[in-house]
């Protein structure tokens, strides 16, 4: 285990009101986030922290498992149990943690390179086993920690440090992948919309079974053409009020479509 943080704050299991009163500061560790100024991951961290506070999950009952990448630092910044694992291996480690301690709230934090590249083979097998884990995909469409190479989510033809003549491959579709293998809760958010992300995180954590939440986030340092804040704000749009998240066929239509709808795309148990 590369990273282990022992929770420093404990409350009796029945003292939920005290947990709520302490609020989001309860979940902040003494380590400040080290992401680049303006990184969308700050918005994700805020929304997820607010969700933990709203659900009154105690630090002693929380474990966050991450892989390698900019999002891999996340467990350092949250008060709770944390595991900073190998590149692409967050999901099998999170599955083991849930198997050993089923009473814990387990979150697997993966990146688009970490989770859809070297770790892509773990996603379908975790989905089919359906452990009660919330998987959050931090998608900035680039390899940020290793300085701007093409990731599985980089659009075709985009110039990167690893493809100076343009990326020759089409990008992956994580929502379609999750639906195809039978994930019971599938959602998409944007790092610039923390209120919507908080709702999606709360719903995903409450869902009994595997939850998959895809969050699109700008990389302000290494991506100057694709996932920019202004671009994402103009691309994303909320699902229409009449949308039925229990309809799997509709969910596949959304996943295959060109428009980037945000919100709860599919909920098997709704």
Q: Cβ distance 91 to 126 under 8 Å?
A: yes
Token pair 């379908």: residue: 124
The pLDDT score that the predictor gives to residue 7 is 39
Residue 215: pLDDT band (50, 70, 90) is very high
Q: Does position 262 have pLDDT exceeding 50, yes or no?
A: yes
The rounded mean pLDDT for the chain is 89
Tens-digit pLDDT profile for residues 14-65: 455 655 556 666 777 777 788 899 999 999 998 998 899 899 898 899 999 9
Mean pLDDT for 58-78 is: 89
Q: Which CATH class is domain 18-267?
A: alpha beta
Residue 95 exposure: Cα atoms within 13 Å on the Cβ side: 15
The predicted-structure confidence for 112-157, as pLDDT tens digits, reads as follows: 999 999 999 999 999 999 999 999 999 999 998 888 899 999 999 9
The first and second tokens of residue 118, run together, are: 């070297």
Give the pLDDT band (50/70/90) at residue 5: very low
Give yes or no for a contact between 52 and 203, defined as CB atoms under 8 angstroms apart: no
| pLDDT surpassing 60 at residue 13 | no
26 or 76: which carries more pLDDT confidence?
A: 76
pTM above 0.85, yes or no: yes
pLDDT value of residue 197? 96
CB atoms within 10 A of CB 8: 11
Any idea what the Cα angle at residue 122 is, between residues 67 and 138, rounded to 5°?
A: 45
Q: Long-range contact list for 161-170, CB < 8 A, 24+ apart?
A: 161/222
From CA 232, how far away is CA 63, in angstroms rounded? 30
pLDDT score of 218 more than 70: yes
- pLDDT band per the 50, 70, 90 thresholds, residue 244: very high
Tokens of 79: 């008060």
């Amino acid at each position: 285990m590369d990273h282990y943080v022992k929770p420093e704050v404990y409350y009796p299991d029945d003292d939920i009101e005290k947990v709520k009163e302490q609020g989001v500061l309860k979940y902040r560790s003494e380590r400040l986030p080290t992401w680049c100024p303006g990184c969308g991951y700050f918005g994700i961290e805020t929304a997820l922290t607010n969700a933990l506070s709203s659900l009154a999950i105690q630090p002693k009952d929380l474990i966050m498992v991450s892989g390698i990448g900019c999002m891999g630092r996340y467990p350092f910044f949250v008060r709770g149990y944390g595991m900073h694992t190998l590149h692409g291996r967050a999901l099998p480690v999170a599955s083991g943690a849930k198997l050993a301690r089923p009473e814990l709230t387990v979150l697997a934090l993966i990146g688009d390179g970490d989770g859809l590249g070297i770790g892509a083979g773990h996603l379908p097998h975790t989905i089919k086993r359906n452990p009660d884990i919330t998987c959050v995909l931090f998608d900035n469409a680039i390899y940020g920690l290793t300085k701007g190479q093409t990731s599985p989510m980089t659009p075709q033809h985009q110039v990167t440090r690893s493809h100076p003549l343009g990326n020759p491959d089409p990008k992956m579709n994580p929502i379609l992948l999750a639906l195809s293998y039978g994930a019971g809760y599938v959602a998409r958010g944007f790092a610039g919309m923390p209120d919507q992300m908080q709702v999606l995180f709360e719903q995903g954590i409450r869902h009994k079974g595997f939850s998959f939440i895809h969050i699109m986030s700008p990389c302000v340092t290494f991506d100057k053409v694709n996932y920019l804040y202004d671009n994402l704000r103009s691309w994303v749009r909320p699902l229409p009020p009449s949308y039925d998240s229990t309809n799997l066929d509709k969910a596949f239509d959304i996943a295959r479509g060109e428009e980037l709808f945000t919100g709860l795309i599919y909920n098997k148990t709704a």
